[in-house]
Chain A
Amino acid sequence: MARIWPTKLDRDRLRRRFVALLLDWMSWGYVAYGVMYFLNDYWWRIPLERFYTTLTLPPWGWPAAVLGTLAMAVICQVSGYSLGERALKLEIREERPLTKEELLMGRAAGKPFWKTQWGVMAVFLLALTVALGWHIVKIDPEALIHPSPRAREMLSEIFPPDFRHFRVPDPAFELRGLPYSILDLMVLTIFMALLATVLGAAVALPLSFLGARNIMGFSPAGWLVYGIVRGFFNIFRSIETMLWAVVFALWIRWGSPLAGIMALTIHTIAALGKLYSEQVEGIDPGPVEAVVAAGGNRIEVVRYAVLPQVIPSFWAFTLYRWDINVRMSTVIALVGGGGIGDMLFYYKNEGKWALLGAVVITIVAVVWAMDYLSGRLRERIT
């Protein structure tokens, strides 16, 4: 009987075929972008706008580019084993022996990848990316080898670093009328990270159970809560700590440590919540069933079957997060988050390189120690 409606297998194959074509189209589109960029860069050089002049096309250029790249993608797909097919592991279209031409195209095994069609394309795209990056970023090895006069001045001043304000506050630098030394601000920064981690972990812990499929996935309401919590984690995690700090600096006050703490906390909740709930989803279901069989409710399941299994990895993640938070809190002052970064950017703006060196060395020592300590502790826990 002739099938009218495609089976699930056919539909899946069709979908893969379509995605493969889309990938090929996109890679050729990328090539077209590169070509246009270089054309603009070299031939239609407009001095004032040069930096941003990347996509200047005549009116007929757009449809030409779109159709041309599509044509190239189709040619790739028809003529051999294209990049999109390789990415989706669409091995061979029809079940039939390969012809001699196809073997020569490199669809058979044993050929080095850079001689196959997809390999050529991949190497070409990589080269194009490096070349484009080189021009867009304006990489200049000469500038690296010959430092600017300011750099020479900096290098001559930064050694030896000046630790005179490590313990004694610098009268030139004060925050809200209070003098601070390097040590004071370093301790304050570590406290900021500590508070953010504790607060974040305290909120993420209960939320993580609400965001775990094997705890919530028993009722429609449970699924709803699961979806909301997971969505919250995903959205808030992709907003950087620095961006949160911008918001809270506007909200509370520029340079307030509380703004930094709130920014770190929000991101910590989302990041830790995701890690925690993935751990909860990976537990052994045996104890859960045992507690349910003994008549335990959801809270008792969490208390007696889930928590004992996940506590060590929870500690490991929390330590890891504290390490990250210490790193972040040292520079969060850049966007108004408070902490030792205030001093860092103050000395940088004033050009006091020797004092800046002392601040940087202190930060490095603390961050390094935290990294080492948390690594050792995590090894011990897990």
Chain B
Amino acid sequence: MLSGYPEAYLKERPRWMSLDAVADFFYFGFRNLRKYLSIVLLDMGAIGILWLLMNYVIIRLSTGRIGYALVPWWVFGLGVVEAAALWESFGRSFGHRVARVELRRTDGGEPTATQRILHWLLWHVSVLPIFPLLFIPSPHERVSGLELRPFTMEGRTPKPWWRTSTGIYVAWLTGVALLAAISVTVSWEDLVRLFTKAGTTAKFWRSFFSPDTSIILKTIRDLIVTVFMAMTATSFAVLVAVPLSFLAARNLMRGVVGRLIYTVIRGMMSIIRSIEPVVWAIFFLVWVRVDLTPFAGVLALFVHSVSDLTKLYAERLESIDPGLIEAIAATGANRLQILRYAVIPQIVNPYISFTLYRWDINIRMATVVGVVGGGGIGQALFFYLTGNLWRQAGTVMLFIIALVWAIDYLSARLRAKLA
């Protein structure tokens, strides 16, 4: 058996000027390129983040300002590339760890120092994407006699994390990231207040034991508005999300057109989902008339629910048992019958369970959306807070907590029954 040769050499090669040869060239070339590129990009990203964070900490601690780089961008870029080259040649880098490979001689032995240096020097040449495309293996591996082999633990004693370069890197990164985070978010005055001014919240807690009874009826009415906001948004979202989920399931959308529809819907839903309901509420509060605040809140919840439910539903659809579909199809059923007898029985309960879950989230969100002016109990809370009416705000909060707790309990119980 020829070992150590890349698989491109082991297979019978087409005639050099045939179309097959061109296809082979691109196929193996890009596979080779991808292998190197993913590792190099991971290493460069890892080093770059660490560098930026260290600069951030240094600038923050020495000048008290916010800055990201102490050097020009091209020095930063060159340094990152150089550090990645060194790391990949002289150790088992982060990228190697992620790809589960290591640098070994082609015969499987430990690389010598000369080989490593050669690898490092020629790495600078091979980093240009054209080389891994043209040469398999790439020049730096060919000349140094090293290659990336799958990593196994066979015949080795495991090292503790502080003896591996990736372990040290991760520890350092964590330390620097925490330092950076603390340096920019926490100030001494705030810390002192955190430990000495707990008493300022007393007026708040007091209201929990002596709520303002005169606003209870109004608060209950606001509560009802909030619950109905969540219910309306959820029920309309279900109507839209159920058909959409069939278009967003990979296993149902085959062919070029199907895949295109799948990609477009999934991409759109993913973007819409990234916008918080609060931001949607800001948008819709401007969109609709001024007096329709709960409607704007419902629209915000609706849009976010549709995208979230579509994703949840579609993921469930993608994991249905294909055996049942085949069985029903074998009886000569048409598409609608397959849907009715093979797909729907498998998804009804999970769909109801997801809907309940989303309803639960929507009730929480409806209170938050209300705070930007989306109607319901959140708006009442914000009104009392901005007016420094702590007792009333505490009363409203008591109701919100009770509602959220009750709905959470109810939805969890119902979902446990459905499962």
Q: Are B224 and A335 within 8 A (Cβ)?
A: no
Count residues of chain A with CB under 8 A from any CB of chain B: 65
Q: Are A191 and B232 within 8 A (Cβ)?
A: no
**In the complex with contacts A238-B404, A240-B400, A257-B185, A137-B294 CB distance below 8 A:** yes
Determine the distance from Cα of A191 to Cα of B52 in the docked complex, in whole angstroms: 14
Q: Are A335 and B371 within 8 A (Cβ)?
A: yes
Q: How many A-B residue pairs have CB under 8 A?
A: 174
- Tell yes or no: B82 within 8 A of A by CB: no
- Tell yes or no: B419 within 8 A of A by CB: no
B397–chain A nearest beta-carbon distance, Å: 6
Give the interface SS of chain B, mostly helix, strand, loop or mixed.
Answer: helix
Determine the distance from Cα of A237 to Cα of B232 in the docked complex, in whole angstroms: 25
- Tell yes or no: B229 within 8 A of A by CB: yes
**In the complex with contacts A137-B295, A335-B385, A368-B271, A54-B286 CB distance below 8 A:** no
Q: Are B193 and A252 within 8 A (Cβ)?
A: yes
Q: Are A137 and B225 within 8 A (Cβ)?
A: yes
Per the 8 Å Cβ criterion, residues 33-67 of B in contact with A are: 56, 66
Residues of A within 8 A of B286 (CB): 148, 150-151, 154
Residues of A within 8 A of B189 (CB): 253
For chain B, the bracket of interface size reads 35 or more
Residues of A within 8 A of B290 (CB): 148
Q: Are B292 and A138 within 8 A (Cβ)?
A: yes
Determine the distance from Cα of A143 to Cα of B197 in the docked complex, in whole angstroms: 47
Q: Are A195 and B178 within 8 A (Cβ)?
A: yes
Residue in A closest to B400 when the chains form the complex, CB atoms: A243
Determine the distance from Cα of A220 to Cα of B346 in the docked complex, in whole angstroms: 44
- Tell yes or no: B299 within 8 A of A by CB: yes
Q: Are A240 and B404 within 8 A (Cβ)?
A: yes
**In the complex with contacts A52-B221, A143-B288, A246-B393, A360-B228 CB distance below 8 A:** no
Bitwise interface map of A from 165 to 195 toward B, beta carbon under 8 Å scored 1, else 0:
0000000000000001001100110011011
A184–chain B nearest beta-carbon distance, Å: 5
Per the 8 Å Cβ criterion, residues 202-259 of B in contact with A are: 204, 218, 221, 224-225, 228-229, 231-232, 235
B343–chain A nearest beta-carbon distance, Å: 19
Residues of A within 8 A of B270 (CB): 368, 371-372
Determine the distance from Cα of A338 to Cα of B218 in the docked complex, in whole angstroms: 31
**In the complex with contacts A258-B194, A335-B371, A143-B228 CB distance below 8 A:** no
Q: Are B232 and A134 within 8 A (Cβ)?
A: yes
Residues of B within 8 A of A234 (CB): 405
Residues of B within 8 A of A243 (CB): 397, 400-401
A328–chain B nearest beta-carbon distance, Å: 8
A151–chain B nearest beta-carbon distance, Å: 5
- Tell yes or no: A354 within 8 A of B by CB: no
Bitwise interface map of A from 316 to 336 toward B, beta carbon under 8 Å scored 1, else 0:
000000000001001100110
- Tell yes or no: A39 within 8 A of B by CB: no
- Tell yes or no: B298 within 8 A of A by CB: yes
A sample of 13 cross-chain residue pairs with beta-carbon separation below 8 angstroms, ordered by A number, consists of: A137-B295, A137-B298, A137-B375, A144-B287, A237-B408, A240-B368, A240-B400, A246-B381, A251-B200, A252-B194, A258-B187, A261-B185, A331-B279
